[in-house]
Amino acid sequence: MTGPTATLDLRPEADGRVLVLTLDHGKANEIGQAWIAGLASLVQRLEAGEVRALVTRSVRVTAGGRPVFSAGADVVERRGWDDERILAHVGTQRAVMGRLARAPVLHLCVVDGLALGWGLELCLCADYLLVGPQARFGLPETGLGIVPGAGGTARLAERVGSGQALRLGMAGELIDAAEALRIGLAHEACDGGAAGLTRALALARRVADRSPTAVAAFKAAILAGRGLPEDAREALEERAYAHCVRSGEAARGRAGFEAIRAGRTVDWGPWEPFEP
């Protein structure tokens, strides 16, 4: 990717083990080349295992006073691009988003505003989606002569089922927080963005206090097992469990059992990646 790299608004929590990513740029958090390059740098940091959880939220409000998570890709910057440049750019977005979805962290998104196109696709990269009463979701792409290209076509049906995915993608219908919860797009309701951030940080800090090797292995096994028969999922579980034992984390957990029961943390070992 060419061009500048955006400096993302990142705030560390829990001694840097949790990062809060705040969207607050442009008119409506439009996502362009620079921001994708910044996200790629963040993903590389997540993949290195130094962070345990990521919380993504927005504080952006449009000129009309409407809260927005992200109104989608920055289409304006693509004026004058030829087809090959557009395909290469969207391919880069897709690759970065795929890496974000698989990163060895718990990724929580808090949405209490408009999430369109790429904004919804970012939500699909999150492991847990909290929604406030002003949340709205939609995929307008087919009305623009394209399909969602940053994972929306690839991930939506897995989250909500093919019927709901076809409704959202083919008709471009805008849905509210209640409908997002009903169809399984979102996971938990919150009273608003501030309350959602508080709840997300509470979950993130719980993750940060646990074995980094174990929580990352759990996520990797869950993701790798999707769509596989039960015996294959059990084989993944066996390998993930053995990885935790051989890394020494199981022994550390046993040694610190009384401290854990008392609500104290233990001195876990360094993160050791698990390859399903």
Per DSSP, the residues of 87-138 read HHHHHHHHHHHHHHHHSSSEEEEEE-SEEETHHHHHHHT-SEEEE-TT-EEE
- Residue 163's pLDDT band (cuts 50, 70, 90): very high
In sequence order, the β-bridge partners of residue 58 are 23
Tell which residue, 214, 229, 232, has the closest CA to residue 274.
Answer: 214
Cβ atoms of 75 and 145 within 8 Å: the answer is no
Tell whether the model's pLDDT for residue 63 goes beyond 90: no
- pLDDT score of 1: 42
**Please, which pLDDT band fits residue 17 given cuts at 50, 70 and 90?**
very high
179's enclosing H/E stretch is helix 177-183
pLDDT digits (tens, 9 = 90+) for 209-243: 999 999 999 999 999 999 999 999 999 999 999 99
CATH of segment(s) 9-207: 3.90.226.10
Mean pLDDT of 263-276: 91
- The residue behind tokens 């996971």 is 187
Domain ranges of the chain: 9-207, 211-261
- Kindly report, residue by residue over 70-90, the tens digit of the pLDDT: 999 888 888 899 999 999 999
- Evaluate whether 85 touches 234 at the Cβ level (below 8 Å): no
Q: In this model, does residue 103 exceed pLDDT 80? A: yes
Structure tokens at 38: 């910044």
The pTM assigned to this predicted structure is 0.95
pLDDT single digits (tens) 172-205: 999 999 999 999 999 999 999 999 999 999 999 9
Left if phi > 0, otherwise alpha if psi is -120 to 50, otherwise beta: which for 60?
A: beta
Question: Read out DSSP for 55-97?
Answer: EEEE--B-TTS-BEEE--B--GGGTT--HHHHHHHHHHHHHHH
10 Å CB burial of residue 163 (0-12, 13-18, 19+) is exposed
What pLDDT score does 3 carry?
Answer: 60
Dump the DSSP string for 20-47.
EEEE--TTT--B-HHHHHHHHHHHHHHH
CA–CA dist 109, 46 (Å, integer): 16
Is 26 in contact with 6 (CB distance < 8 Å)?
no
Percent of the chain with pLDDT over 90: 89
Give the amino acid at 159.
Answer: R
Strand order in the sheet with 68-70: 68-70, 114-116, 136-138, 175-176
